[in-house]
Amino acid sequence: MKKSLVILTVLSAINFTSFAQTQMIAHRGAWKNTAAPQNSIASLNQAIAQKAWGSEFDVHLTKDDVLVVNHDDEFYGLDIATSTYDELLTKKHPNGESIPTAEAYLKEGLKQQATKLIYELKTNKLGTERTLKSAEMAVALVKKLKADKQVEYIAFSYDACLKLRALDKKAKVHYLNGDKSPQELKAVKIDGLDYHLSVYKKNPNWIEEAKNLKLKTNVWTVNKADDMQYFIDQHIDYITTDEPELLHSILKK
């Protein structure tokens, strides 16, 4: 009896490892099918309401060293890297929100624990020095808010990923730019690949290779049902999407 229980436990553990379900990350919050502007606090709360595994957001550094959340380099016509935070406050999202600071955004996300906060560190157009400064400030902010367990970092800048790794050995850091193999990322202790869907289709062995190296795999930005199913069938760990409602309905099947 005891023996069969052990076997059953081992089998279910193997099963869990092999078939861990793909998880959903809402790209810039859940905005496309809601009234919320992308990267607004409202879009974060929509993603949380949809029980997304994670909600992704983009963080820039202003001229006067404030971390703010927005996708593009510009916020309604104002260039973020060369504007002060007060200058950015002269513009508003259509829902009346100002540009969120990364601090306000994280504090909102920390009101719950079910949805992870996927912090994209944006490359600063003024140069690597500003990008690395942004990395230092990100780690300091996450530590100040005790948000370590709920935040994972992603970045296109390889230098920023290495800086994040050096500043916080336990932080989860994933690389976005698609030009490093799983082996190369493993060698520098980056936790995972977070690549455009075309990169995985060009390198069909990378998901399996990453899994063998115990790296996480994430794909962006997957908005079509057939692409979602393709990556679910590949047992990718995370799918980042502008269509969380569609992905949710497919994952539920």
**Stretches 85-93, 119-127, 233-241, 244-252: which one binds Mg ion (CB under 5 A)?**
119-127
Residues β-bridged to residue 220: 196
Nearer to Mg ion, 72 or 86 (CB): 72
> Do 69 and 38 meet the contact criterion of CB atoms below 8 Å apart?
no
Nearer to Mg ion, 120 or 191 (CB): 120
Q: Within a 10 A sphere around the Cβ of 249, how many other Cβ atoms?
A: 12
Nearer to Mg ion, 64 or 72 (CB): 72
- Minimum Å distance from CB 238 to Mg ion? 13
Considering only CA atoms, which of 175, 123, 121, 170 is closest in space to residue 150? 170
By beta-carbon distance, which residue lies closest to Mg ion?
A: 120
Task: Collect all residues with Cβ–Cβ distance below 8 Å to 50 and sequence separation of at least 6.
Answer: 26, 30, 244, 245, 248
**Stretches 85-93, 116-124, 181-189, 234-242: which one binds Mg ion (CB under 5 A)?**
116-124
Nearer to Mg ion, 196 or 248 (CB): 196
Q: Using alpha carbons only, give the angle 180, 176, 102 rounded to the nearest 5 degrees.
A: 145
CA atoms within 13 A on the CB side of 230: 14
Q: How far is CA 69 from CA 3, 37, 72, 234, in A?
A: 54, 12, 10, 32
Nearer to Mg ion, 153 or 206 (CB): 153
Residues β-bridged to residue 27: none
Residue ranges in 46-65 that form contacts with Mg ion under rule CB under 5 A: 58
How far apart are the C-alpha atoms of 164 and 229, rounded to whole Å? 32
- Minimum Å distance from CB 197 to Mg ion? 15
Considering only 120, 168, 194, 243, the residue that binds Mg ion (CB under 5 A) is: 120
DSSP for residue 180: S
- Minimum Å distance from CB 236 to Mg ion? 18
Nearer to Mg ion, 121 or 211 (CB): 121
- Minimum Å distance from CB 157 to Mg ion? 13
Binding mask 73-112 for Mg ion (x = CB under 5 A): ----------------------------------------
- Minimum Å distance from CB 56 to Mg ion? 6
The residue ranges that bind Mg ion (CB under 5 A) are 58, 120
